[in-house]
Amino acid sequence: MSTIDWPTARLTPIARARALAAGLPGAGYAETTIDRPFVDAWLRLMDLERSVPAADRLVRSIRVREREVLPDGAERLQVTSRSSLGPRQDFDVRIEPGFCLMQETRRLFVVVMAAEPDPHDPSATRYAHVEAVPRRFARPLGRILDRIVADDAQGFRRHLEA
């Protein structure tokens, strides 16, 4: 065994989102570029009570019920979402810099939001959005979700650039 300082590689937030999308049957996936620096874009994005209803037409409101910092430094939230169509959904949320996973407490639905500085433009941010019904029977939903997720990604882009 050596004490060499070997080069290391990272699992970036967007790579993490891509991997989860690959592992979730029928996941919808979209990426876009936001014309805002990463820190600015991420802080506004993680103001979930404002950003999600502004970006997603199907969400009427988001309320953060609990918030705690986990031992590994991530933030854990419990939120309630009310849909424009009526139903209420409770989510467990895990937030790290550039990465957010929102899982409906009965595991009916999951949303992943990931962002990182655009490697070609430091004044811009790459954004990835994943939505899935994490059940095997949901695989055929992928094409439908792709369209919904693409709309949501553009909704977040418009909100963050406004």
Partner 1 sequence: VEPIGAAAPLGGVHDLVRAAQGGDPSAMDELLRALAPYVGRICGAIALDRGDDAVQETFIAVLRSLRSLRDPDALHGWVRRIAVREAVRAARPGQTVAVAPDDLRDLPATLPDLAAVLDVRAALAELPPLHRAVLVLRDLDGLAEAEVAQLLAVPEGTVKSRLHRARAAAREVLSR
How far apart are alpha carbons 51 and 47 in whole angstroms? 6
If the CB atoms of residues 90 and 161 are measured against partner 1, the closer one turns out to be 90
The site string for partner 1 over 62-101 (x = CB under 8 A, - otherwise) reads ------------------------------x-x------x
CA angle 121, 10, 120 (to 5 degrees): 10
Instruction: State both tokens at 5.
Output: 């300082």
From candidates 103, 117, 118, 124, binder to partner 1 by CB under 8 A = 103
Nearest to 162 by CA among 76, 71, 51: 51
Any idea what DSSP says for residue 137? G
If the CB atoms of residues 25 and 117 are measured against partner 1, the closer one turns out to be 25
Interacting residue ranges for partner 1, rule: CB under 8 A = 1-12, 15-16, 18-20, 22-25, 92, 94, 101, 103, 107, 110, 112, 132, 134-136
